[in-house]
Amino acid sequence: MPAETWWKNGIVYQIYPRSFQDSNGDGVGDLPGITSRLDYLVDLGIDAVWISPIYPSPMADFGYDVSDYCGVHPLFGTLADFDRLVAEVHRRGLKLILDFVPNHTSDQHPWFVESRSSRSNPKRDWYIWRDPRPDGSPPNNWVSNFGGSAWEFDEATGQYYYHAFLRQQPDLNWRNPELREAMYDVLRFWLDRGVDGFRVDVIWHLIKDAEFRDNPPNPAWHPERPEIESLLQVHSSDQEEVHEVIAEMRRVLDGYRDRVLIGEIYLPTERLVAYYGKDLSGAHLPFNFQLIQTAWNARAIAKLVDEYEAALPQGGWPNWVLGNHDQPRIAARVGAEQARVAAMLLLTLRGTPTMYYGDEIGIGRVEIPPDRVQDPWEKNEPGLGFNRDPERTPMQWDASRFAGFSTVEPWLPLAPGHERQNVAVLSADPGSILNLYRALIRLRRGTRALAIGDYQPIRTEGHVFGFLRSHGSERLAVFLNLSGEPIPVKLVSPCDGMRVKLSTFLDRVDERVGSNVALRPNEGLILG
Ligand code: GLC
């Protein structure tokens, strides 16, 4: 695929390092494990690997509580293992994206240890410290994303510190210029080691209201929903000044060749697109989670794709995500049949797709027995249905006892049915979801219309979503049946007379369609 930026025409693959491959028999995945599986990723056809945090951490939030930004947690290996991973990734022509967690550190980070030691410590202002209200209560009503007040009282210095997540994850103060510089040095540390970019954790949280005003109540909230949703987050996140910070980060990356800045942002489309920044000075790819949040039906998806395409700033490149380590797996949400339609959707829409490890083998629902719950959010707010453990279970490589992931019982249980549903078994099954992913990726890589072409909706009704992708004279049409019913689709120019390039059932190849095509239940077709 000639001369387009890799993060535009490439496919990103997210690895949750605890769960990809254990190489040392402790039941937890690690860096040498990832390195040993790179050929699988080459064979799958992806272009870039994003790994969730691998830094030293007390693991209160499984690595999103960083205690040293410039190291590797011994569970995952060493810096030498990391360098080897970078070299092996690059040797195969792949890219490596790290997770950067700038909003908060661990409470064990030396910066926070210093900051909390006294009110006059030079690092006091690197975190967010506020006096109690006159009655001793927290400075305002902000709630932690994992439930409870977002403020923790520190007896020793008589002030509260702010934590948007766990109390073991104090928020950094991004209004402090020294802190900013220290964090840009962290970016340079990894860029100098050869990483190709960053996925920036909760980037829309970095700047908070300068006056720390109370958040207004959310009238639509009810108690079966997480407590964080009881307030509208108007003052605690998504502040105008955050764009200045992101532009600074971006300038650090722009000092190197061909690096990518991806931002984690859960906001409605019209707010999300602001994260491309003024004159595209912000994130290259503000993660677009709309497919995760939408009702799974053709009309809702058609509408959101149109709205997103229309909202993109001039020159802003789109992207799509179906799942990640915080969200129910796609196959758990929409079922095994629709998971194949979802795969075709992800890999044919205009924009960079991010795949989540294990979705390509269709890992679905997993029950986590109460005594094996790991997720701190589930421990804080049990039973609401937000446990993130089910989407973090180990990768399933083969039919052996621990699925080829480890030689011992893994840190989270394996999904049921892993003896049948694994890379080895599914590779040998020509009709498997894994082979569908491979075929989709191959087609996308070999077709400029799919990789970088224009998008145009095709007017469809009911349960069918259709669109056209085109580049020069190359044209492909995609029709997805989002239902379990057979549906005949009437085709008009330029789709009539096309041939089937790919069906989600991996048959029908080269079948010529006339002015009608019959979509089978849960079938997606690419015509060209
Ligand atoms: C992000 C991460 C999530 C983590 C949170 C706090 O949303 O994806 O896993 O718990 O930030 O760092």
Q: For 331-345, how does the pLDDT look when each residue is reduced to its tens digit (9 = 90+)?
A: 999 999 999 999 999
**pLDDT tens for each residue of 393-450:** 999 999 999 999 999 999 999 999 999 999 999 999 999 999 999 999 999 999 999 9
39 with 153, same domain?
no
* Domain closes at, from 437, 462, 486: 437
Q: Closest Cα to atom 4, ligand 1: which residue?
A: 64
148 with 206, same domain?
no
114 with 245, same domain?
no
Mean pLDDT over 146-170 rounds to: 98
Distance set, CA 489 to CA 190, 205, 478, 486 (Å) = 51, 45, 12, 10
- Does the pLDDT of residue 5 top 80, yes or no? yes
Is 431 inside any structural domain? yes
* Structure confidence at residue 4 (pLDDT): 73
Mean pLDDT over 171-178 rounds to: 98
Q: Does residue 326 line the site of ligand 1, with CB under 6 A?
A: yes
HSE-up of residue 107 (Cα within 13 Å, Cβ side): 16
- Does the pLDDT of residue 220 top 50, yes or no? yes
Residue 7 has which token pair? Answer: 């993060």
Ligand 1 centroid to Cα of residue 62, in Å, is: 9
Mean pLDDT over 224-251 rounds to: 97
- Determine if the pTM surpasses 0.85: yes
357 with 494, same domain?
no
- Does the pLDDT of residue 2 top 70, yes or no? no
Domain count, the chain: 3
User: At 510, which CATH number?
Assistant: 2.60.40.1180
* Structure confidence at residue 48 (pLDDT): 98
265 with 400, same domain?
yes
Q: Where are the beta strands (DSSP E) in 404-523?
A: 454-458, 464-471, 474-481, 487-490, 500-503, 516-519
201 with 284, same domain?
yes
Mutate to test the pocket of ligand 1, among 326, 375, 379, 391 (most ligand atoms within 8 A of CB): 326
285 with 331, same domain?
yes
Atom index in ligand 1 nearest the CA of residue 52 equals 8
Atom index in ligand 1 nearest the CA of residue 324 equals 8
Do residues 126 and 79 touch, judged by C-beta distance below 8 A? no
Atom index in ligand 1 nearest the CA of residue 104 equals 12
Mutate to test the pocket of ligand 1, among 144, 146, 165 (most ligand atoms within 8 A of CB): 165
Mean pLDDT over 97-107 rounds to: 98
Mean pLDDT over 204-216 rounds to: 98
Tell me which residue range forms the domain holding 118. Answer: 110-162
* Structure confidence at residue 175 (pLDDT): 98
* Structure confidence at residue 1 (pLDDT): 42
Q: Closest Cα to atom 3, ligand 1: which residue?
A: 326
Ligand 1 centroid to Cα of residue 52, in Å, is: 10
Q: Does residue 391 line the site of ligand 1, with CB under 6 A?
A: no
398 with 417, same domain?
yes
Q: Does residue 61 line the site of ligand 1, with CB under 6 A?
A: yes
Mean pLDDT over 114-127 rounds to: 98
Q: Does residue 174 line the site of ligand 1, with CB under 6 A?
A: no
Is 224 inside any structural domain? yes
Q: How does residue 88 score in pLDDT terms, banded at 50, 70 and 90?
A: very high
Q: How much of the chain exceeds pLDDT 90, in percent?
A: 99
* Domain closes at, from 123, 138, 162: 162
65 with 116, same domain?
no
Distance set, CA 226 to CA 187, 220, 293, 382 (Å) = 33, 12, 16, 10
257 with 351, same domain?
yes
- Does the pLDDT of residue 360 top 60, yes or no? yes
Is 448 inside any structural domain? no
> Catalytic residue numbers?
201, 264
User: At 126, which CATH number?
Assistant: 3.90.400.10
- The amino acid at residue 523 is E
Atom index in ligand 1 nearest the CA of residue 266 equals 7
Distance set, CA 155 to CA 150, 160, 206, 212, 512 (Å) = 16, 9, 26, 21, 75
- Does the pLDDT of residue 3 top 80, yes or no? no
Residue-averaged pLDDT of the chain: 97
Mean pLDDT over 387-398 rounds to: 98
Q: Closest Cα to atom 12, ligand 1: which residue?
A: 64
DSSP sequence for 360-400:
GGT-------GGG---HHHHHSTTSS---GGGGPPP--SSS
